[in-house]
Structures are given as C-alpha cells and as structure tokens.
C-alpha cells in the first residue's frame, strides 16, 4: 500500500512515522509513504505556489501548475493509476467504513490544500475523491491526511498488539456500528469509585451483556442516529430492545 502526500509542509509528517504503535505499519513497509512538496515544481527564484484570487477577496489560492507537475511526477513514480484525494469540506465526512475501504486498497495520492484553497481547474481535472474531516476549518489538509493515515495504518496486520483489538472500536461492524463501552483497569477502587461488579464477576456471558448494554445506552444517549441505523439494519436483538425500553426517556 502506497500513499503519496502533496504538501507544502512535508516536515509535519516525519514525527508521525516514528512514533506510536502505527509506526510499525511504516517501518515494516505495510504502508509506504512518500512526501512531495509542490514548491519543488514551481517556477522562479521564489518558487511561488500561490496567487491572488480572480474576482478579488481575501487570502491566496494555490496555483494549478505546480500541483499538476507534482502530480505528474508522482504518477510517473507509481505503477498504478492511484486515486487522487483532496481534503475538502465538499466531501463526505470520513467514517470507519470509509477507512476500512482505504485500508484494503493499494493507496492513493493525498492532496493537502492551504490558504483559501486550490485552483478549481486542478480539482476538476485530477481529483477523484474529496474527504471532509468534519464541519470545521483547518489551516491545511495535513492534519486530515494524518488522521486518515493513522486510521488506515492501525488496521494493517501486526500493527496493534492484539490483532482483534480494532474489532471492538466504536463504529466497527463487529459492534453493530455502536459506540464502544467504558473500560476499566487496576486498581479495583480508585478515589472511592469502584469498577462495575459485572466486570469482576468472572462470568463471561454476564460481562458481555453488561458491555452490550453500555454500548446501547451510550449510543442511545450520544448518537441516536447510529442506534437507529443499527435498528433499521436489523442488528438489534430482543434483549437489546428490552434493555433500551428500560432506559429512562431522554
């Protein structure tokens, strides 16, 4: 799997490649990362990559030509016709399902915009996918790219200490798309607060029922849209519905 990053600040990615559990994905070569600075493909002594927008207005717009040259160099270096992803508020929000698709892919070219945006002509000609990290604005696409890379890297075989760990993440199909339950560790009592008795019972069926109920309750309280989606898809059983009916009205 290969990701090529187009960014004016490639140095932002360096610490990410050698820190945390996801570094295993990059050190092992499971996820191959190549960094490209469009300034290296710009003209003139100043290597200009932006200019004022036609029609006036604040800010600057990234030039199409340096980006196109950069992309051409990437395409020449790759052996596949990689999709070109732009992080933009126009795209659908990044979800776990989307991450799973990318984690099983051959990779992509990730374009990190800056300033007021990118010349639309580059987008129209080359961009195949747009992804949003959420309904807020960042100063550039680098953080969004890092988020996607981290989410993809942790799903690669051998990256997590427990191979099945990610199966119990929030939003995972293994949890029927529900939020995850609370987790506890030693000591059994901390500052007067005890670990729930069910988790100390040693009764695996009881423990799993407690965890399931907690997932249902948290999802009902915090993300009722996810609960409704699970219900519509037929993922909730009779015990689930019985527990939900026992909860006090929101």
DSSP assignment of the chain equals -EEEEE-S-GGGGHHHHTSSTTHHHHHTTSSEEEEE-GGGG--TTTT--EEPPTT--SS-EE-HHHHHHHHHHHHHH-SS---EEEE-TTSPBP-HHHHHHHHTS-EEEEE--BTT-B-HHHHHHH--EEEB-SSS--SBSHHHHHHHHHHHHTTSTTSSSSTTGGGGSTT-GGGTTPPPPP---S-SEETTEEPPHHHHS--HHHHHHHHHHHHHHHHHHH-HHHHHHHHHTT---HHHHHHHHHSPP-
Q: To the nearest whole number, what is the mean pLDDT of the chain?
A: 94
For residues 2 and 105, the answer to whether their CB atoms sit within 8 Å is no
Q: Which position has the token pair 């959420």? A: 134
pLDDT at 211 over 70: yes
Question: Domain coordinates of the chain in residue numbers?
Answer: 2-153, 170-246
pLDDT digits (tens, 9 = 90+) for 76-112: 999 999 999 999 999 999 999 999 999 999 999 999 9
pLDDT band at 187 (very low <50, low <70, confident <90, very high): very high
Residues contacting residue 40 through CB under 8 Å, at least 6 positions apart? 47, 70
CATH code of domain 2-153:
3.40.1280.10
Report the topology of domain 170-246. Answer: 1.10.1270
Residues known to be catalytic: 89, 116, 154, 169
pLDDT digits (tens, 9 = 90+) for 124-181: 999 999 999 999 999 999 999 999 999 999 999 999 865 555 555 656 777 899 999 9
pLDDT at residue number 160: 84
Question: What is the model's pTM?
Answer: 0.88
């Amino acid at each position: 799997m290969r990701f090529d990053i187009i960014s004016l600040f490639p140095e932002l990615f360096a610490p990410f490649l050698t820190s945390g559990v996801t570094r295993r994905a990059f050190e092992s070569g499971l996820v191959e990362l190549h960094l490209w600075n469009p300034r290296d493909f710009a003209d003139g002594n100043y290597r200009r990559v932006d200019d004022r927008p036609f029609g006036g207005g604040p800010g600057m717009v990234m030039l199409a030509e340096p980006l196109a040259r950069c992309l051409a160099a990437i395409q020449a270096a790759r052996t596949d016709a990689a999709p070109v992803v732009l992080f933009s508020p126009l795209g659908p929000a990044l979800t776990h399902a989307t991450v799973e698709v990318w984690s099983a892919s051959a990779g992509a070219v990730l374009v990190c915009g800056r300033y007021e945006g990118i010349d639309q002509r580059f987008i129209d000609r080359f961009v195949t996918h747009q992804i949003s990290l959420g309904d807020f604005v960042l100063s550039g696409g680098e953080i969004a790219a890092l988020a996607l890379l981290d989410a993809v890297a942790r799903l690669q075989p051998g990256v997590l200490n427990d191979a099945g760990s990610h199966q119990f993440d929030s939003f995972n199909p293994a949890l029927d798309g529900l939020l995850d339950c609370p987790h506890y560790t030693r000591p059994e009592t901390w500052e007067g607060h005890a670990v729930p008795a069910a988790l100390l019972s040693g009764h695996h069926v009881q423990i799993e029922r407690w965890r399931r109920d907690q997932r249902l309750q948290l999802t009902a309280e915090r993300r009722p849209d996810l609960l409704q989606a699970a219900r519509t898809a037929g993922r909730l059983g009779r015990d689930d519905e019985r527990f939900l009916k026992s909860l006090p009205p929101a």
